[in-house]
Amino acid sequence: MRIFHIEPGNIRESVDLEALSAQGLEQQGYVWIACGRPEFEAEQMRVQAALQALCGVQLVDLHISDLINKQLPSHYDYTSQYDVLVFRRLAASSTAKPGAAPVSGAPAGRLSGPPILRRIDTSPVGFAVFDRVLLTVHPDDCTVRDTYADKLLQTASAESRAAGARLPTSPADLMLRIVNSMVDGYLALRRELTQQLDHWQSELLSPRARFANWSALLEARMALHQLDDVCEEQRSSIQDWIEAIKTWPEPESPLEARERELLQVRSRDVLEHIERVVHHVRRLEQSVETAVQMHFSVQGSRTNDIMRTLTVLTAIFLPLNLMAGIFGMNFDFIPLLHQQSGFWWTLGAMGLTAAGLALVFWRKRYLARTTR
């Protein structure tokens, strides 16, 4: 469990939740409590006591179940005292290896396929947003919390403040920044995903290669369909959050109005990033479908070319078979049968007939080779 006390221009990390609860919050600033899912499940009484001391309210039992649930889709809920957002992250785990087992949320039994698709993690991250406290519940292997915590500590340094970096002004602002980092984590995978699918497309459309990796391609399509569903759930949850912001009480000061406006802008920015993910995933799905259709179209075209060539060859040799059949009849009186030059005349006629038919078929482009 990591605890951060965030004040204007300053961040303090604490390890004692009870001490922070006893000390309380100052007039300015708020607290970020970040813990793993098993840790939250084991220490939920301590967390509830801290929320009661800091905010005067505790989490509802159903929301605790949502934060603990590993299979819950992205969704948004609220009460009069706090908001709850469950967001399935789309970041690849930095500790995952190509031979690692599928992460939670991946299709059951998926043991093969490209490593980039097996490393996509879709575990849920829970956010409970209070007025002065942000509680986040992460998976065990979640690097998003530690990565953003380090970034937050760097933002509080004097050099970062001089460069114009600003700290999150509220728990809601901090929550949106963490969510945005999760979505951007998937956007960083676009190049690798595109390269993998482009490689398969090249194999599918290569006239000399025989594509045999159909199981991996099917698993890639399943993974892309799953990502599409996850993105739709994410977009719906963020849209519900944006609509909920509009129902908040009117700000009492220009500073609060400015912070409310910035919060809405950041929410729309997160939604735009999710829509970019949706657009990219659907474009990859369409590329895979198009490549498969083009593959079978090319195979059908090659089969037609082969059958056309065989048909032309058959048509060329049919007259020759007819001549051979006529002169093979058991009759005593057949022209040229008893002449010494009869064989050569017949052979020449057969050759001229074959050459003439081949020329006719070539002029009609029946023997033309299709360029690919």
33-49 confidence digits (pLDDT tens):
999 899 899 888 988 98
Going by C-alpha positions, the residue among 71, 37, 44 that lies closest to residue 59 is 44
Question: Within 10 Å of residue 129's Cβ, how many Cβ atoms?
Answer: 21
DSSP characters over 185-251: HHHTTHHHHHHHHHHHHHHHH-SS-----HHHHHHHHHHHHHHHHHHHHHHHHHHHHHHHHHTSPPP
pLDDT of residue 297: 79
Domain segments of the chain as ranges: 2-298, 304-363
Structural tokens at position 320 = 């020759």
In sequence order, the β-bridge partners of residue 128 are: 84, 135
pTM: 0.71
DSSP 91: -
Rounded distance between C-alpha atoms, residue 20 and residue 1, angstroms = 13
pLDDT band at 294; cut points 50, 70, 90:
confident
Residue 227, burial from CB neighbour count under 10 angstroms (0-12, 13-18, 19+)? buried
CA distances from 12 to 6, 9, 132, 153, 172 (A): 7, 11, 15, 9, 19
User: What is the pLDDT averaged over residues 258-283?
Assistant: 88
Amino acid at residue number 89: R
Q: Which CATH superfamily groups domain 304-363?
A: Magnesium transport protein CorA, transmembrane region (1.20.58.340)
pLDDT band at 13; cut points 50, 70, 90:
confident
Mean pLDDT lowest for which of 64-78, 227-241, 310-324? 310-324
Residue 57, burial from CB neighbour count under 10 angstroms (0-12, 13-18, 19+)? middle
Contacts of 276 (CB under 8 A, 6+ apart): 187
Q: Are 90 and 184 in contact (CB under 8 A)?
A: no
pLDDT band at 175; cut points 50, 70, 90:
very high
User: What is the pLDDT averaged over residues 13-22?
Assistant: 75
pLDDT of residue 157: 67
In sequence order, the β-bridge partners of residue 286 are: none
Q: Does domain 2-298 have CATH number 3.30.460.20?
A: yes
**Does residue 301 register a pLDDT over 90?**
no
pLDDT of residue 357: 83
In sequence order, the β-bridge partners of residue 134 are: 32, 129
User: What is the pLDDT averaged over residues 17-42?
Assistant: 80
pLDDT of residue 111: 37
**Does residue 97 register a pLDDT over 50?**
no
Average pLDDT value over all residues in the chain: 79
In sequence order, the β-bridge partners of residue 84 are: 77, 128
Q: Torsion angle of alpha carbons 22, 25, 26, 32, nearest 10°? A: 130
Structural tokens at position 80 = 């009069």
